[in-house]
Structure 1
Amino acid sequence: MLLTAKSRVAPYSGGLLLASVIAVAATFLSDHYGAPVMLFALLLGMAFHFLSEDNSCAVGVDFAAKALLRFGVGLLGLRLGLAEVMSLGLTPVIAIIGFVLVTFGCGVVMARIFGRRTAFGMLAGGSVAICGASAALAITSVLPLHKDREQDTLFVVIGVTALSTIAMIAYPVLFKSLGLSDIESGFLIGATIHDVAQVVGAGYSISEEAGVFATYVKILRVALLPVVMLVVMFSFRGAQQQAVGVPWFLLMFAACAVVANAGVLPPAILALLNELSRWCLVIAIAALGVKTSLANMVKVKPSYSIILVVETLVLLSVALAFVMVFGI
């Protein structure tokens, strides 16, 4: 039985060890030089991209960038103060629904302007509106079969990943230059950056408060994924009939928030779990950096790039306008 367990763990060990060492190095640099640990983890990880397809590292790196990330995000619910969330009312929820609708519609309109299929517009719009590459993969699973579907999905995944990485670095600087508070910045980061990993990285590069609130807002967007998938599914005849479920880390986030705010966990256990969450996220961001290829970022077709960039700028502009007019 021990040998069986070792054989199951072995494929993951190399990649997890690589991501963990990068995370430790990023933490050391952050502690000594004051820069955001998530940014260090991302940049250091990118320097080791050549190992992303190495047989000894690929599986573990992929596991860290996906499963470990989602587990860490789920644990972030322990840091969410429900009293603070309730004090914000329904404003963030209504705003996020509006942002998603505008961005999704923008994708469809831009696709038609550039002579692309409506299916591509929904794929691009949904990925930018919800959660980047993860949403793209989920949405494509309910699109009708087409010879270009896999290629379209690949370009969208590459494009939104590139834009998310750029936004993770640029948005905190932009929001700080505009004089926005940590809560406002956290809201905007959660509402505008595509992938969950980059939302976490950007939020925590500002402050812990911004990071937690950004994650909460991002969770609101992710919660709309099943709705978008249903809209896509019923918009096309011949679409694959696939069961649409709620992401498990969303449920974990909500459950952790309830448990933490119920006061049933001893402070020592709560502190330990929060530290575990932090390390999971730093390791996941390091793994994401290892998986990030600068070469792939420049392979996106011009028309695809324009559509994704316009959607991203529309989402950012609408969210910024909302915060400037109504506040948070």
Structure 2
Amino acid sequence: MAPTDRITALGAPMATRARALAPGLMVSVLVALAAQFVAEHYGAPAMLMALLFGIALNFLSEPGPTSEGIAFTARSVLRLGVAILGARISWELFLSLGWGMIGLLVAGTALTILFGMALARFLKQGPRFALLTAGAVAICGASAAMAIAAVLPKDDKSERNLLFTVLGVTLLSTIAMIVYPILTNALGFDDRTAGAFIGATVHDVAQVVGAGFSISEMAGETSTLVKLIRVSFLAPVVVLITLFWRSEGGSADTGGNRPPIVPPFVLGFLALAVLNSLGFIPVALADLLGKAASWALLAAIAAVGMKTDLRNVVQVGGGAIALIVAETLFLAALALAGITLLDLGR
């Protein structure tokens, strides 16, 4: 076979695959565009809008021309979005905060996850659900939920639990965006301290930015910086979760399959973070990749919404709601105590 014939033979399956994925992928992107439009013009959280629009279009995930592309977006585009988030992380971010604040953020992440695991047992919620909600609360909201869900063993409740978690952390972030600036003012925090508290507690990046800059420019910059440090914890937490389930040797509902020690999208996240720390990624490119990550995650959450029937979400029960609310309050109390002890400035 001539070289050109080999290329043609290899290209045919790829073209067929692209045609199969295109309708669902385009629908997911269109929903993301609509969600972003509403977010920019009416002040609603883009992630929440993408999720709600996706739920309304649930019928598109049924067997048909769009189902394969929607599934691809919810899985592969999601992982791509998480991977390129690494371009926003650098070592300078850590050094600019000081070791006391970094220690508080590490402790807040670890203790919130441990608290969630312990409380879940009391509330009769499974360990996978506990890791999903606690990880989302402790790290970066919907983005963390999707990354953690990508490495957890799957069962018939996986998509329902992910949708509930994304919806829960987004709603709680929106409430926090309104309440926390009022709280920090009542406590007499200066702008830097208020920004640190908001960055250490609010779940989603967009709401952190909104809450921080509603106080002042200094509070906004501080809250965004603290939040990006929390985002950087995503990769090590996902690796630890993967190792935890791998040590279990695979359970009955996973078919005995072990996940890779380090998922490829986590390697991508770490690689971009290292390259950015070494100065190999120009600022303009880092900003571009950050925007690409936001769009990829927005399209992915729209696809997750389309893949999940809302009637299944309401079956999670009061225990699940109590768990994610308690995790949020625990993180806020822990951050408040830690920031007070650090005496960042009143």
* CA shift digits 1:195-223 (9 cap, x unpaired): xxxx5676677679376455334445323
Partner secondary structure for residue 61 of structure 1: helix
Does residue 223 of the first structure (1) align with residue 239 of the second (2)?
yes
Match of 1:316 among 321, 328, 337: 328
**Distance across 1 between alignment mates of 2:130 and 2:309:** 23
Query: Unaligned regions of 5+ residues in structure 2, if any?
Result: 1-7, 137-144, 185-193, 213-219
Q: Find the counterpart in structure 2 of residue 295 from structure 1.
A: 311
Partner secondary structure for residue 90 of structure 1: helix
* CA shift digits 1:162-195 (9 cap, x unpaired): 24313212323224312264553443345xxxxx
8 Å contact kept, 1:93–1:220: no
**Distance across 1 between alignment mates of 2:311 and 2:177:** 29
Q: Find the counterpart in structure 2 of residue 122 from structure 1.
A: 127
Normalised by the length of structure 1, the TM-score is: 0.74
Q: Find the counterpart in structure 1 of residue 179 from structure 2.
A: 177
Amino acid aligned to 1:76: L
Q: CA deviation at 1:27?
A: 2.8
8 Å contact kept, 1:43–1:289: yes
Q: CA deviation at 1:234?
A: 10
User: Residues 266 and 317 of structure 1: is their aligned pair in 2 closer, same or farther, counting only changes over 3 Å?
Assistant: closer
8 Å contact kept, 1:172–1:185: no
8 Å contact kept, 1:19–1:287: yes
**Distance across 1 between alignment mates of 2:53 and 2:291:** 21
8 Å contact kept, 2:78–2:146: no
Partner secondary structure for residue 178 of structure 1: helix
Does residue 95 of the first structure (1) align with residue 104 of the second (2)?
no
User: Residues 31 and 200 of structure 1: is their aligned pair in 2 closer, same or farther, counting only changes over 3 Å?
Assistant: closer
Match of 2:54 among 22, 45, 59: 45
Q: Find the counterpart in structure 1 of residue 65 from structure 2.
A: 56
**Distance across 1 between alignment mates of 2:32 and 2:150:** 27
**Distance across 2 between alignment mates of 1:230 and 1:218:** 18
8 Å contact kept, 2:104–2:335: no
User: Residues 139 and 267 of structure 1: is their aligned pair in 2 closer, same or farther, counting only changes over 3 Å?
Assistant: closer
* CA shift digits 1:100-137 (9 cap, x unpaired): 222222223433xxxxxxxx743443343346577578
More displaced stretch, 157-166 vs 14-23: 157-166
Partner secondary structure for residue 64 of structure 2: coil
Q: Find the counterpart in structure 2 of residue 29 from structure 1.
A: 38
Q: CA deviation at 1:14?
A: 0.9
Show the 5 A alignment for 1:1-328: 1=8, 2-86=11-95, 87=97, 88-111=101-124, 121-130=126-135, 140=153, 153-155=155-157, 157-179=159-181, 181=194, 183-190=196-203, 199=204, 209=224, 212-213=228-229, 215-229=231-245, 232-233=248-249, 240=256, 242=258, 245-300=261-316, 305-327=317-339
Q: CA deviation at 1:75?
A: 1.1
User: Residues 41 and 164 of structure 1: is their aligned pair in 2 closer, same or farther, counting only changes over 3 Å?
Assistant: closer
Partner secondary structure for residue 25 of structure 1: helix
8 Å contact kept, 2:177–2:211: no
Larger radius of gyration between Structure 1 and Structure 2: 2
User: Residues 230 and 321 of structure 1: is their aligned pair in 2 closer, same or farther, counting only changes over 3 Å?
Assistant: farther
**Distance across 1 between alignment mates of 2:211 and 2:239:** 24
Q: CA deviation at 1:7?
A: 0.6
8 Å contact kept, 1:38–1:204: no
More displaced stretch, 90-99 vs 25-34: 25-34
Amino acid aligned to 1:260: N
* CA shift digits 1:259-296 (9 cap, x unpaired): 12222233443343333223212222322332242212
Q: CA deviation at 1:231?
A: 6.2
8 Å contact kept, 2:112–2:331: yes
**Distance across 2 between alignment mates of 1:71 and 1:205:** 26
Q: Find the counterpart in structure 2 of residue 117 from structure 1.
A: none
User: Residues 62 and 139 of structure 1: is their aligned pair in 2 closer, same or farther, counting only changes over 3 Å?
Assistant: closer
Q: CA deviation at 1:326?
A: 0.7
**Distance across 2 between alignment mates of 1:274 and 1:295:** 34
Amino acid aligned to 1:128: T
More displaced stretch, 250-259 vs 14-23: 250-259
**Distance across 1 between alignment mates of 2:172 and 2:296:** 23
8 Å contact kept, 1:187–1:217: no
* CA shift digits 1:18-57 (9 cap, x unpaired): 0111222233333333433333322322221221214211
8 Å contact kept, 2:151–2:238: no
CA RMSD of aligned residues (A): 3.5
**Distance across 2 between alignment mates of 1:318 and 1:81:** 28
